[in-house]
Amino acid sequence: IDGVDEDGQHAERHPSDDEPFSALAFKLMSDPYVGQLTFIRVYSGILRKGDAVYNPVKGKKERIGRIVLMHANDRHEVDELRTGDIAACVGLKDVTTGDTLTDPN
C-alpha cells in the first residue's frame, strides 16, 4: 500500500502482521445495544482491543473499546484483528467513512 507520511514523504506498507497497523474505515452503523460501530479492513499489522489508533485525516488519537465480528445481526467479540480481517470497532467517536487509521507511533 502506497501513501504519504506526515512529512510528505512516500511511505509503503506491505500486507503483513509484522508491519505497523493500518486500516480503512469503510462503513459506520448505529446499533441500539452498543452505539456506533465503525467497520474497518486491516491492511497491515495487528489491532487489539484497548489499543490506541491515530486518525491522520482528523489528527486525533482514539482508543478501541471492543472489536466484534458481524454475521448478519449476530456479533462475536474478539480480542484482536490481523492483516486482511474485516470487523467492527466500538468506541471510536470521531471517525468517518473513508478515514485511515494507523499505529499512533
Task: Answer yes or no: is 5 within a domain.
Answer: no
Mean pLDDT, the chain cut into blocks of 10 residues (105 residues total): 78 89 95 90 96 94 94 88 96 94 92
Residue 8 resides in a domain: no
pLDDT confidence of residue 7: 79
Q: Where in the sequence is the domain holding 79, given as residue range(s)?
A: 16-102
Distances (CA, A) of 15 to 12, 18, 35, 95: 10, 9, 30, 23
CATH code of the domain covering residue 43 = 2.40.30.10
Evaluate whether residue 78 is within a structural domain.
Answer: yes
> What pLDDT shows up at residue 62?
95
Domain count, the chain: 1
User: What does the pLDDT read at residue 3?
Assistant: 76
In a domain, 46, yes or no: yes
Q: Please check whether residue 10 lies inside any domain of the structure.
A: no
